[in-house]
């Protein structure tokens, strides 16, 4: 049986990808960020994780507003990395596992979670910004992805509570897969930031740490918050943190944070955290 | 009114992108979105004005694009995540766009940040 070995929360700031591609791993301004991912990569290797279920959002790379799904699961042996206006990155295509992806889609739909599916569409920085920091990828990635895109761009967005329930349904899906696979759940985005309008540059470190505390110990409180609450507390685009709740919803009631790195350099509080289930 | 957004209208300098806005601005958002395609980028760099006309942008929209009025475009209802594709094509970094939306120079904006060198 497939089982969940842990969860990861991570920012997906596009600048991380740019700094990575420019080789800024030892640049003093970036080193605290990249160093913070080393224990995460070591954890994934130690846990021998085969598959990452990735809750991310598409930034109008795979989808445009003419058809923008609330939740959509990617199916394919390979996903190209999106050209977001600056050309292609030097990364191998991301690998997928069609049998697992199809099983999760079937399980979700039969569980009354009517998720959309996509094929032959690229994955953008929502996945590709943190992924190279999590997994070595020369000559190829060591495992596969189940990308689950969440609409956090065009209101109405799914509620925080709905994302939490999606995570719970994904847990049931993973645990009903007959093959022995070791799965980690990844929730991406945040933490505090706003990148549009005159309020651009807003941060709230106190709230960021409160969010991290609540996510670990009292996630139900976060499921009761409205989108406007997230926007007020963490900046408009921090509402994407509802994707961390999807990750948390896929985990056991009690978890333990085994690693955290928080680095607010310019605009976004770039954060990564690793969670294990208590008693697992 | 979407109850999830109750209170969002009280946030200064914040523009909710919902279906009403999206429907009104679909054309200009699509114009920017298409910059993920290399041929559309080449055509923009070659003749921006005629590409905007071909895409059916209004006079107001064409002026906002021509003036690189980043804040004006956001206030008009352009979604930031297609706008940033335009920024890549015209060689502006996100930090420069952020500074512009705040009414600051890049240096002014960076001086308000923890690690100005992280650019």
pLDDT-above-90 percentage for chain B: 98
Query: What domains appear along chain A, each with residue ranges and CATH number?
Result: 3-277 (3.40.830.10)
pTM of the model: 0.98
pLDDT for B88-119, tens place per residue?
999 999 999 999 999 999 999 999 999 999 98
CB contacts, 8 Å: A27 with chain B: 117
Q: Is B70 on the interface with A (CB under 8 A)?
A: no
For residues A160 and A227, give the distance between their C-alpha atoms in angstroms, rounded to a whole number. Answer: 8
For residues A180 and A214, give the distance between their C-alpha atoms in angstroms, rounded to a whole number. Answer: 32
Per the domain annotation, does B2 fall within a domain?
no
Query: Catalytic: A217?
Result: no
What's the CATH code of the domain at B57? 1.10.700.10
Sign of CA dihedral A112, A54, A16, A138: negative
Per the domain annotation, does B79 fall within a domain?
yes
Per the domain annotation, does B10 fall within a domain?
no
Estimate the crossing angle of helix A242-249 against helix A160-175, to 10 degrees: 30
Per the domain annotation, does B81 fall within a domain?
yes
Tell me if A247 sits within 8 A of A164, measured CB to CB.
no
pLDDT for A196-242, tens place per residue?
999 999 999 999 999 999 999 999 999 999 999 999 999 999 999 99
Per the domain annotation, does B117 fall within a domain?
no
Query: How many Å lie between the alpha carbon of A190 and the closest alpha carbon of chain B?
Result: 15
| Confidence band of A123 (pLDDT split at 50, 70, 90) | very high
Q: Is B107 on the interface with A (CB under 8 A)?
A: no
Q: Is A119 on the interface with B (CB under 8 A)?
A: no
The phi, psi pair for A176, rounded to 5°, reads -100, 10
Per the domain annotation, does B8 fall within a domain?
no
Q: Is B6 on the interface with A (CB under 8 A)?
A: yes
Q: Is the pLDDT assigned to residue A280 strictly greater than 70?
A: no
Shortest CA distance from A226: residue in chain B: B4
The whole-angstrom distance between residue A215's C-alpha and the CA centroid of its chain comes to 14
Domain range holding B81?
17-111
The phi, psi pair for A260, rounded to 5°, reads -150, 140
pLDDT for B65-90, tens place per residue?
999 999 999 999 999 999 999 999 99
Tell me how many helices (H) and strands (E) chain A has. Answer: 10, 10
Residue for token pair 């930034």: A59
Q: Nearest by CB to B109, which of A155, A201, A236?
A: A201
Helix/strand/coil (H/E/C) assignment for every residue in A29-66:
CCHHHHHHHHHHHHHHHHCCCCEEEEEECCCCCCCCCC
User: Over chain A, what is the mean pLDDT?
Assistant: 97
Q: Which residues contact A77 (CB under 8 A, 6 or more apart)?
A: A95, A96, A97, A98
- Number of independent structural domains in chain B: 1
Shortest CA distance from B87: residue in chain A: A85
Q: Is the pLDDT assigned to residue A86 strictly greater than 90?
A: no
Per the domain annotation, does B59 fall within a domain?
yes
- Counting beta carbons within 10 angstroms of the beta carbon of residue B66, is it exposed (0 to 12), middle (13 to 18) or buried (19 or more)? exposed
CB contacts, 8 Å: A156 with chain B: 2, 4, 18-19
> Is the Cβ pair B87, A199 closer than 8 Å?
no
């Amino acid at each position: 049986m497939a089982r969940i070995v842990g969860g990861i929360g991570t920012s997906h700031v596009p600048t991380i990808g740019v700094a990575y591609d420019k080789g800024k791993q030892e640049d003093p301004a970036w080193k605290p960020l990249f160093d913070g991912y080393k224990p995460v990569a070591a954890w994934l290797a130690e846990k021998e994780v085969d598959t990452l279920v990735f809750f991310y959002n598409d930034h109008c790379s795979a989808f445009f507003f003419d058809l923008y799904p609330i939740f959509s699961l990617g199916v394919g042996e390979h996903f190209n990395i999106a050209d977001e206006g600056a050309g292609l990155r030097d990364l191998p295509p991301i690998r997928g596992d069609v049998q697992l992806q199809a099983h999760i889609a079937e399980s979700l739909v039969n569980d009354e979670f009517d998720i959309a599916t996509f094929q032959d569409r690229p994955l953008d920085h929502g996945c590709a910004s943190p992924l190279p920091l999590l997994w070595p990828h020369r000559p190829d990635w060591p495992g596969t992805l189940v990308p689950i895109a969440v609409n956090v761009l065009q209101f109405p967005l799914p509620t925080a509570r709905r994302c939490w329930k999606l995570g719970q349904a994904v847990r049931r899906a993973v645990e009903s897969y007959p093959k022995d696979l070791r799965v980690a759940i990844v929730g991406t985005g945040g933490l505090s930031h706003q990148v549009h309008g005159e309020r651009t540059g807003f941060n709230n470190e106190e709230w960021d740490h409160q969010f991290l505390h609540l996510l670990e110990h009292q996630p139900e409180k976060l499921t009761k918050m409205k989108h406007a609450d997230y926007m007020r507390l963490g900046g408009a685009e921090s509402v994407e943190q509802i994707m961390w709740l999807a990750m948390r919803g896929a985990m056991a009631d009690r978890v333990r944070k085994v690693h955290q790195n928080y680095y607010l350099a310019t605009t976004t509080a770039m954060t990564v955290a690793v969670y294990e289930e208590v008693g697992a | 009114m979407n109850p999830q957004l109750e209170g969002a209208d009280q946030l200064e300098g914040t523009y909710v992108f919902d279906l009403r806005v999206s429907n009104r601005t679909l054309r200009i958002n699509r114009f920017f979105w298409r910059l993920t395609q290399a041929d559309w980028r080449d055509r923009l760099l070659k003749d921006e004005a005629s590409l905007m006309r071909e895409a059916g942008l209004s006079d107001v929209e064409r002026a906002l694009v021509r003036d690189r009025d980043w804040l004006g475009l956001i206030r008009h209802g352009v979604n930031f995540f297609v706008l940033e594709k335009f920024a890549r094509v015209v060689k502006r970094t996100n930090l420069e766009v952020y500074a512009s939306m705040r009414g600051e120079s890049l240096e002014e904006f960076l001086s308000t940040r923890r690690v100005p060198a992280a650019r």
